[in-house]
Amino acid sequence: MTTWSVPRRPCRVFGLLLLMILSFLVLRRYLHLKPRSCDHEVAQRLDWHHLLSPWRRRRQLGLHTQGQNFMLEDSTFWILGGSVHYFRVPKAYWRDRLLKMKACGLNTLTTYVPWNLHEPQRGAFDFSGNLDLEAFVLMAAEIGLWVILRPGPYICSEMDLGGLPSWLLQDSGMRLRTTYKGFTEAVDLYFDHLMSRVVPLQYKHGGPIIAVQVENEYGSYNKDPAYMPYVKKALEDRGIVEFLLTSDNKDGLSKGTIDGVLPTINLQSQHELPWLSTFLSSVQGLQPKMVMEYWTGWFDSWGGPHNILDSSDVLKTVSAIIDAGSSINLYMFHGGTNFGFINGAMHFHEYKSDVTSYDYDAVLTEAGDYTAKYTKLRELFGSISGGPLPAPPELLPKTVYDPLTPALYLSLWDALQFLGEPTKSEKPINMENLPINNGSGQSFGYTLYETTIDSSGVLSGLVRDRGQVFVNTVSVGFLDYERKKIAIPLIQGYTVLRILVENRGRVNYGDSIDDQRKGLIGNIYLNNSPLRNFRIYSLDMKKSFFQRLSSSAWSPLPETPVFPAFFLGALSVDLSPSDTFMKLEGWDKGVAFVNGQNLGRYWNIGPQETLYLPGAWLDQGINQVLVFEERMAGPVIQFTDIPHLGTNHYLS
């Protein structure tokens, strides 16, 4: 290891001092502000990483405020940010998306950190592969972007339970997002691990993280006045030393603030802009204004339209925000995909789960392509950048692969023998409390409940979220939020009753997050008598689930398959793999997998008609395509180079 011997090398000391003085002068030049025609000044983005080697950097003040300005060290800094979630983008494409952000004229990346993915089982952490937060943040630094980190613990983000792990709900008295002991103890252990990774990435430690958000939109929840001070202290006690801020919509802004933390606002419409200059100022006083989430589009729900926001409206609103002297973060710059089962849901008047695509009608499409919003915003940001912007990267190629016909088939009922012993229980057990996954229960997917009945009648109970009911292997209907009773037809003798329950996504926003347990909730009744003696199978459909299915179990596709069932086919890729979109026309509802990667759910009620298949997840040669279908299979699986996200609905 090299040691620095200062007394023996006076010339070196003099040289280093001279270099530091010259570097300081260079920094001042790079941080020089260029005035705009609107008399606002925007700081040009400084790429510290390429100016100075890490051990020579002088980072003392970091991001701070001076009157109505943000300051980075001793120079005015204007935050021009964009949101990209690493967990919604294939790792192989992170660089592409961040280079496009840089080329758009933005200087700051914002991202959430999903607790439920990083701690899928209590005490077991995963920061590998697509969850490598540190690699994502360091890549942003390499490209020349600062980072605002939004570590939660609650993040909303249209994600299952707002990014909170479902095993928290094993506690029947759990009160999420409060100082309830069971919650704070879990947060403390998670933050112990997470912050040990985050602290070295902070600005004052030579990293790109210039600010950290305290929780997320707590003013809209506001169930415990001691909670936000607790989260702030939990961050600071673990070494977070950078600028702190909160984020709330206009309805929660007055209740989400905390001493020593800068409030910021979330909005979309130009009609909400007066909140910037009136209410936000009244809450925070003479401090910089920031729109932490300017919503560039919106998410979609199954059974609804595809929501879009006109690019001209986006340009007008963003221009108005900047002209008001406010910093801004585009939520989303690039939305990505709810791969697997990570989507959330809303439940106010009725339950609505989010679709697989998180395209969001953002500045970049789900597949990372440019939009009219990108072109217009790049021109705007380029006009205030103080210098030429980098050239936008070339688009990744898209292709249309030949349709494939599944060759092999396995009914769910035949697959059960390979899944190991089911959980046996006198009464139904909800997903989260199943004694599996090292005591952490089941988070995502389906759960199958079996019992024996000897009479017909009316079946009733609380099913979350959607339960397909079978008498032996014959489907007789569904139980869900709207249909709470179903007729069981005449049977002879003892008969197996099966209920296949899908967790369609836990609510991620609102007052009901404590009540998001899935599966059969409490007793299920036949003619008002509770049923007993259940066999319960966890169908989480993780890679380990499919590894248990024996290759000898599969059979050639029959003319009349028994559903639900798994269908297996091969996609041949002759040349270098390219992005494509899977289209399951004629199929009803289920989940698609390629080479073990869960692409997400499909459902013929729309609006989404295609699933994004990244070329990075394909191999040259033969690729395994597996589909779990609940009710009805189409003749083929198609591929297209154009996404179909549904009928457009313009947001006003």
Distances in Å between the alpha carbon of 24 and those of 18, 52, 56, 58, 563? 10, 10, 11, 9, 70
CA distance 566 to 419: 14
Catalytic status, residue 158: no
Place of tokens 């912007």: 389
Q: Which of 73, 158, 217, 629 is catalytic?
A: 217
One DSSP character per residue, 376-399 reads HHHHHHHHTSSSPPPPPPPPPPB-
Please give the C-alpha separations between residue 368 and each of 88, 593, 650, in angstroms, as whole numbers.
12, 21, 21
Beta-bridge mates of residue 462: 521
Place of tokens 């758009």: 104
Distances 402 to 46, 220, 582 between C-alpha atoms, Å: 47, 49, 11
Rg (CA), the chain: 27
Q: Which of 119, 215, 293, 630 is catalytic?
A: 293
**Which candidate, 496, 456, 493, 455, places its Cα nearest to that of 474?**
496
Active site annotation includes 217: yes
How far apart (Å, rounded) are the C-alpha atoms in residues 253 and 146? 26
CA 343 to each of CA 50, 162, 301, 507, 597: distance values in angstroms, whole numbers, following the listed order: 38, 9, 10, 9, 16
Output the CA angle 189-194-195, nearest 5 degrees: 100
**217, 264 contact by CB (below 8 A):** no
- How would DSSP label each residue in 574-603? -SS--BEEEE-TT--EEEEEETTEEEEEEE
**Share in percent of the chain as helix, strand, coil (round to 5):** 25, 30, 45
Contacts 24+ apart (CB under 8 A), 469-473: 469/497, 469/498, 469/499, 470/496, 470/497, 470/498, 470/499, 470/500, 471/495, 471/496, 471/497, 471/498, 472/496, 472/498, 473/411, 473/413, 473/498, 473/562
Residue 169 to residue 289: CA distance in whole angstroms: 37
C-alpha distances (whole Å) from 443 to each of 127, 154, 159, 193, 341 are 18, 16, 13, 21, 9
Burial of 98 (0-12, 13-18, 19+ CB in 10 A): buried
Closest by CA to 86, choosing from 172, 16, 147, is 147
Catalytic residues: 217, 293
